[in-house]
Structure 1
Amino acid sequence: MKGTTVPEKVSLTGRFFRYDPDFFFIGEEINQLSMVSVQEAKSLIQSTVPVLYPEQKNLSETVGQVLAEELVSPLALPPFRQSSMDGYAVHHADITRAGTLLPVVAESRAGNATLQTLQRGTAVHTLTGAPIPDGATAVVMKEKVDRTADAAIIQQFPVPDGQNVRSVGQQIQKGDVAMPKSTYLTPGSVGFLLGMNIHSVKVYRKPSVGILVTGDELVQPGDGVALEFGQIYESNSAMLAAVLRSEGIDDVSIRYVADNEAATIQALRELTEQHDMVLSSGGISVGAYDFVGTALREIGVEEVFYKIRQRPGKPLFFGRNDDTIVFALPGNPASTLVCYYEYVLPALRLMSGRTDCFLAKLKLPITHAFSFQGERDEFLKATATTEAVTPLYGQESFVLRSFAIANALIYLPSSQNSVQPGDLVEVHLLPFFF
């Protein structure tokens, strides 16, 4: 897009040396010791997150959920020999040359209750989806037939045995596995299963999610709502609710609390009691008014890891309180989204029974040079095509403008801290990549 990519001659080297705690941290070599790597964080999530219990649902309501049982076909599909074309059912051996004339003795159409029987040397007018008459071995499509008042002149020769005939059970046989457990259900799944009269299935439940937003500087946007000096409009909660909805998660509640320790403890206690997953936005760092970490310890959340060796999104907390999964996300919005896509989304998918939980990834050539310093891996907001990937302006953790047009993240491990145009990089495709 015009105006959104990095000009070829612009160097981004050294851009982290600015007053932004998510990008430059004094004494970072010491803090590296307490951090987990990107790969370690993902492995810990995979080994910690539970799969939610199944629920029985009407099949039409299960698109986007994962099957919690193996389904066996109660019948063969198709259940009878079926024509795949509008045409004429014949015995293939009766067609001895182009121009063979056969009297048309009957018609078979979809919904026929009585199966026709073909006598040798005759033809039956047969419509798409209709039963093939007993004795017929092929259907000649109507475009290859000249029709008179009472006869069909077959212009095709030869006519292969079985032409345009769907055999019984060609799609699936009775007793075969129609769909294995852990299948991700799509609209095609609904159509396929309903064709076997399977209309209610057991699926893994989608998690309910509670969102906690902290920060005295935050103001809810709305008509006529003006900012006072030092305030900003709060957007993280709506942003998180939007990405949750895009994953098919509608059971979401949002709580707002001031920077107050007692209020934060109470809100987190209630959210962890009511939801399968809790996401907090902000308040997880070490500032004087960051109370989320204290509150999580107070209510008994077991820490699995805190801080990841990455930019942006280093101060991510992941823990568990009985069966509730807790992520304390950094407050900077770009950091929030990076952590959501790389860690929260996989956890949500795991809870929903999916095994393909992480973002799809591929190797693409990068269009511009890029380099960075330090021991933390990089996630860069980017636009990708099937041919290449371009990092965007505005990689700072507080900048959402670039995320608003990004469809991918470039992942650069610290071992690949300098790339040139044309170098292959790992690209994580966001769910709406197109």
Structure 2
Amino acid sequence: MTVPVSEKGYASTATEWWTQLDEEETPELQWPHNIEVYDRMRRQDGQVISVLRAMTLPIRRTKWRIDPNGARPEVARQVADDMGLPLVGEENAPVLRTRDRFSWAEHLRLSLLMLPFGHSVFEQVYRIDESGLARLRKLAWRPPKTISRVDVAPDGGLVAIYQHGHPSGGNKEAKMGVERLAVYVNEREGGNWLGQSLLRPAYKYWLLKDRLLRVQAQTVDRNGMGVPVYEGSKLPDTVTGEDRTTREKNELDSGLTLAKGFRSGDNSGASIPNSAKLALKGVEGTLPDADKPIRYYDEQIARGVLAHFLNLGTETGSWALGSTFADFFTLSLQTVAMQIADITTQHVIEDLVDVNWGPNEPAPRLVFEEIGSRHPATAEAIKALIDSGAITADQKLDDFLRTTYGLPAADPATAREPRTPVAQPAPQPQPTNPRR
């Protein structure tokens, strides 16, 4: 049997990778126009930003660490220092100065922009220290609006990403090869390195909701106070002919001006001729109820990312299924965090190790604390752990408990010995009455 070591098929052509983007049927969502649309969605709609924050904040809040993964201690230590993260088991180690250093928290925030935009691109930037080692200075974010085109290999692999020209560089297109890039892509298929936005399924609901909100605002504005209607006064019977027509026209013109300028307020009012009428006419019949379709659109926007719990009390009618919805949603967050950890390990950490120690050196990996795995540290739980010997009471635990429960700081000068509890006598058995 011949062992296959090369590919005969292809996932994308280097010159026609755009064809995958042309499959989008909605013109305004075809790249690069979709970048502006998704940016407007996440900035203007409360439900959309709630969905994105629900997806990103737990991932940003969880603890991230560097696992040595069989690497030499000095290699693991330098990677941890460059990433600004603790090694597994050394969470309490002092933090290095952060000036002119890479910030993992900021990088994580920007990398999660792959969810609304479909992709988030970073360029590696190093600095050489006094010992000659390359240190990670930053991963420079390249905004989606600045990307002009992408080069893709026939197997679907990334070759290079180009940016629109900048005035400082003579407006010449900037090329960044894959060897210096870290690219986070949401739901990449084939050679489409621009990915798919998490907001794509929500677009039509956002658009319809936006239109309905405008109609609802106009309905309230037009019908909240009523429409001023002016009815002209009755002219004397002696006024006839052309003079009557002229006077009726002049009065109606004046009444129309009055009606158009009518406003509510403390100083509002009107003066009209005798027998004339100025009334506020409301809508006859029932106005359309826009609340139900708007609520439905909000539910569908949240449903697209499994964030059903955002609709509790409206979609489901109760909180009974809240834990079940949260479990599915937490699994989706775990998957996104795993993707970020995998890409960072391959294209940031391993590149850093390759530059300094070569491709044969074992490399650490990025790991994270399971999202939703933390439990509240109650006094009863901590007591049970100490009594069972699972943990040992020390000064840091004492400081933590005092901070958590709002207790004053420890004062060794006035500390007292703990009192030994006095043993209580055992209760005496009550005599029985044989006559009962």
Q: What's the TM-score, normalizing by structure 2?
A: 0.17
Higher strand share: 1
Q: Highest CA radius of gyration, 1 or 2? A: 2
Higher helix share: 2
Q: TM-score, normalised by structure 1?
A: 0.17
